[in-house]
């Protein structure tokens, strides 16, 4: 973001109170809501106006104005414009029109996973800073490209793993690790829950306003599928339609073609926290091997689903990831959603609702030193609400050209693990990993899955 006219977030309030948690000392600067003046506001170009864009724009609304929206579904773009921009934003089907605009300061990419890398790379090349939703990429090789272009352009890229800005839970857990309260970490566990399956979903007419070919983008073209289940009654007797089964909006995450399934969808949140803990504990080297078991709703042959008429990503799984020195990470679906961190001196569990364990209890008598949270948060200003705070972090970093809390390097370090779990699941065998070369060792078929064939017309030009 250019440093020009905007005094945005340049001043920070201090010492704001947070809910009473006895051991939690909020002594850091906070971004607060103080910058609402018109000339402080940031002009945002939005690419993808679906579910998460609605939540994100709600979180960032105090600081941004949406000046342009791109969506391949004209109805979604129009509805979003009316709801969040008073109908005043310019609306396009082709996101490149948003990137071209001189009046756009920053870009938000909130498209499905198979449509992240290309607009992120092109936004950086167009000189824009980007907040992109997680998981940043569809493949390991896309991550190599994003890191390369980010280094060459120097643009700021924040990934939407907002758990990194949840201070009372995840950041406090990271501070406990960084302050040595758990000792050397032996094992981390990311429990991310099972994934959806579906009945056979029939081919259906493409809805008016949706450019299905462009929605599919780089992925080989296939039929649009849609199945609306019957309405159910809520407790007040009101009829409600369930979310439809489809290979498009929202449900794309259960198709390996467009996503890595639960392993990257929630993996991008909890494997991120588990990997962050290991790194703060001095485990700077990446993994050496991954193996385990996975159950899919359809048969796979040579890493590809045999049936293409229903959800196909892994519904159940249990993977173990080996790190140098004997540390292990477990990724599983079948226990309480959250991250368990086990060290030689104690263990903690952290989730979106809970932080527990003896080292947490011990904080009552021996609180974390002042500045411990700020240290793991790269000494950047903080906000109380995690989604709002994650946006404030991005906008502050864009203005001040600093590395945000969820940067592309730390994100890809953990997303590589999620992608490797997906490759291992699809092939049904363990993999050895050369982290320095970012290659699977001694398995040509698996190595070929570090990237995917890109449909003609959707290649990324750098
Ligand atoms: N951080 C979080 O907690 C969180 C939560 C939910 C979703 N997400 C992520 O956000 C992303 C979007 O998920 P969602 O649930 O909002 O999906 P969604 O299907 O509701 O919305 C995606 C939108 O992108 C549009 N789109 C597709 N291709 C496009 C293109 N080429 N150009 C412009 N628009 C295009 C679609 O038409 C749709 O409106 C996913 O990557 C998902 O993993 C993150």
Q: Tell me how many domains the chain contains.
A: 2
- Look at residue 230 in the predicted model and tell me its pLDDT: 92
Looking at residue 31, the DSSP 8-state letter turns out to be: -
> How remote is the CA of residue 41 from the centroid of ligand 1, in Å?
25
Which position has the token pair 């050209």? Answer: 401
133 and 173 inside one domain: no
Residues 262 and 134 grouped into a single domain: no
Residues 125, 151 share a domain? yes
Quick check: 14 pLDDT over 60? Answer: no
For residue 449, the CA-to-ligand 1 centroid distance in Å is 24
Whether 141 is covered by a domain: the verdict is yes
Give yes or no for residue 47 CB within 6 A of ligand 1: yes
Q: What is the mean pLDDT of residues 6-32?
A: 42
Q: Quick one: pLDDT at residue 383?
A: 78
* 102-121 per-position pLDDT tens digit: 999 999 999 999 999 999 99
Mutate to test the pocket of ligand 1, among 133, 258, 260 (most ligand atoms within 8 A of CB): 133
Cβ–Cβ under 8 Å, residues 324 and 450: no
Mean pLDDT within 389-414: 94
Please tell me the distance between residue 134's alpha carbon and the centre of ligand 1 in angstroms. Answer: 10
Cα 79 to chain centroid distance, Å, stands at 24
Q: What is the mean pLDDT of residues 39-49?
A: 90
Indicate whether 155 and 270 sit together in one domain: no
> What is the model's pLDDT at position 62?
86
Can you give the residue range of the structural domain that contains 102? 13-164+379-400
Residue 427 domain-assigned (yes or no): yes
Task: Please give the Cα distance from 337 to 308 (Å, whole number).
Answer: 29
Tell whether 23 is covered by a domain: yes
* Co-location of 50 and 182 in the same domain: no
The DSSP bridge pattern shows strands 64-70 and 42-47 to be: parallel
Question: In this structure, are 159 and 174 located in the same domain?
Answer: no
Within this chain, do residues 115 and 172 fall inside the same structural domain, yes or no?
no
Q: Give CA–CA dist 401/261, Å, rounded.
A: 33
Using a 6 Å cutoff on CB, does residue 407 contact ligand 1? no
CA 424 from chain center: how many Å? 21
Strands 245-246 and 226-227, bridge-based pairing: antiparallel
Are 180 and 105 contained in the same domain? no
Question: How high is the pLDDT of residue 5?
Answer: 33
C-beta 266 within 6 A of ligand 1:
no
CATH number at residue 120: 3.40.50.720
Q: Which of 114, 152, 144, 154 is nearest to 132 (CA)?
A: 114
Q: Same domain for 39 and 118?
A: yes
**Residues 346, 430: one domain?**
yes
Specify whether 262 is located in the same domain as 389.
no
* 73 class by beta-carbon count within 10 Å (0-12 exposed, 13-18 middle, 19+ buried): buried
Does residue 115's CB lie within 6 angstroms of at least one atom of ligand 1? yes
Asked if residue 210 is part of any domain, the answer here is no
Rounded to whole angstroms, how far apart are CA atoms 457 and 453? 12
How many H helices and E strands in the chain? 14, 23
DSSP-assigned letters across all residues of 243-279? PPEESSTTGGGG-TTT--THHHHTHHHHHHHHHHHHH
Is pTM, for the whole model, over 0.85?
A: yes
CATH of the domain at 300: 3.30.360.10
Is position 202 within any domain? no
The answer to whether residue 301 is domain-embedded is yes
Separation of alpha carbons 145 and 412, rounded Å: 11
Average pLDDT, the chain: 92
Ligand 1 nearest-atom number relative to CA 250 = 19
pLDDT of 82 reads 98
Residue 245 placed within a domain: no
Query: Both 156 and 268 in a single domain?
Result: no
269 within some domain: yes
Cβ contact 141:437 at 8 Å: no
pLDDT at 378 over 70: yes
Distance CA 27, CA 382 (A): 10
């Amino acid at each position: 973001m250019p440093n020009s006219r905007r005094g945005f977030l340049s001043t920070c309030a201090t010492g704001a109170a947070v809910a009473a948690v006895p051991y939690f000392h909020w002594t850091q600067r906070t971004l607060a809501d103080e910058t609402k003046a018109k000339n402080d506001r940031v002009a945002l170009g939005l690419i993808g106006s679906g579910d998460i864009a609605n939540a994100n724009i709600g979180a960032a609304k105090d600081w941004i104005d949406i000046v342009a929206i791109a969506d391949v579904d004209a109805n979604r773009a129009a509805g979003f414009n009316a709801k969040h921009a008073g109908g005043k934003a310019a609306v396009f089907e082709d996101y490149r029109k948003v990137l071209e605009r001189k009046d756009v300061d920053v870009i938000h990419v909130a498209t499905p996973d198979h449509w992240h890398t290309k607009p992120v790379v092109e936004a950086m090349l167009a000189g824009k800073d980007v907040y992109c939703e997680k998981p940043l990429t569809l493949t390991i090789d896309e991550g190599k490209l994003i890191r390369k272009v980010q280094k060459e352009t120097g643009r700021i890229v924040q990934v939407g793993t907002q758990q990194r800005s949840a201070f009372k839970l995840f950041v406090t857990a990271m501070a406990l690790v960084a302050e040595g309260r758990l000792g050397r970490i032996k094992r981390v566990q990311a429990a991310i829950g099972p994934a959806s399956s579906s009945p056979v979903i029939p081919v259906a007419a493409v809805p008016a306003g949706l450019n299905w070919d462009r929605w599919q983008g780089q992925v080989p073209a296939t039929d649009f599928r849609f199945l609306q289940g019957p309405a159910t009654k809520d407790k007040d007797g009101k009829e409600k339609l369930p979310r439809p089964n489809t290979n498009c909006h929202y449900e794309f995450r259960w198709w390996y073609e467009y996503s890595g399934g639960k392993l990257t969808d929630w993996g991008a949140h909890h494997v991120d926290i588990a990997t962050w803990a290991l790194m703060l504990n001095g485990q700077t080297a990446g993994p050496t091997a991954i193996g385990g078991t996975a159950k899919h709703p359809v048969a796979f042959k040579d890493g590809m689903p045999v049936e293409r008429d229903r959800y196909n990503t892994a519904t159940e799984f249990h993977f173990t990831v080996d790190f140098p020195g004997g540390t292990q990470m477990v990724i599983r679906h079948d226990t309480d959603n959250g991250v368990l961190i086990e060290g030689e001196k104690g263990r903690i569990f952290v989730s979106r609702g809970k932080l527990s364990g003896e080292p947490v209890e011990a904080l009552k008598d021996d609180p974390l030193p002042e500045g411990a949270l700020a240290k793991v948060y790269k000494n950047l200003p903080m906000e109380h609400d995690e989604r709002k705070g994650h946006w404030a972090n991005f906008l502050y970093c864009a203005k001040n050209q600093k590395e945000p809390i969820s940067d592309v390097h730390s994100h890809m370090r953990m997303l590589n693990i999620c992608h490797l779990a997906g490759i291992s699941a699809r092939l049904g065998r363990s993999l050895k990993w050369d982290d320095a070369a970012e290659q699977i060792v001694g398995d040509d078929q698996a190595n070929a899955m570090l990237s995917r064939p890109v449909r003609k017309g959707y290649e990324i030009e750098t």
